[in-house]
Amino acid sequence: MRKLELYYSIGIRIENAVSRVGKIISQGLVKEDLRILSKTVDSYLLLKAEEIFYVQADLAEVIIRSAKGFSHYAKKISYLEKQLEAYDFFHLKTVLII
């Protein structure tokens, strides 16, 4: 009977820990390590949010200016705006995020 009580106690502690971590993440207290895969003329770049200077809309895709140069991203600027919001980027115009 003691083993069953011990397992039950451990299970409750694990549930509480997982719940606490879930709350921290959902409240935005922990930033995810965002990586953005973009394409240059001859290769691909895996960019961190800290490496991005600005994002500019260009028809159906986005141009990203980073420390590694210019690259293209195949989604709309509104998608990147949501992703970069947690990293203190803001929408300056309809076509530019800084």
To which H or E segment does residue 45 belong?
Answer: strand 44-48
Please provide residue 72's backbone torsions phi and psi, each rounded to the nearest 5 degrees.
-115, 145
pLDDT at 30: 53
At 46 the pLDDT is 92
Q: For the chain, how far is it from start to end, CA to CA, in angstroms? A: 61
- Predicted TM-score (pTM) of the model is 0.63
Quote the tokens at residue 75. 């989604």
Nearest to 75 by CA among 87, 92, 63: 63
Residue 65's pLDDT is what?
Answer: 92
Please state which of the four CATH numbers 2.40.50, 1.10.10, 1.10.3470, 3.30.70 is assigned to the domain occupying 35-97. Answer: 2.40.50
Per the CB < 8 A criterion, the answer to whether 10 and 18 are in contact is no
**Mean pLDDT of successive 10-residue segments in the chain (98 residues)?**
69 75 64 83 91 86 91 90 82 69
Q: How confident is the model at residue 38, as a pLDDT?
A: 93
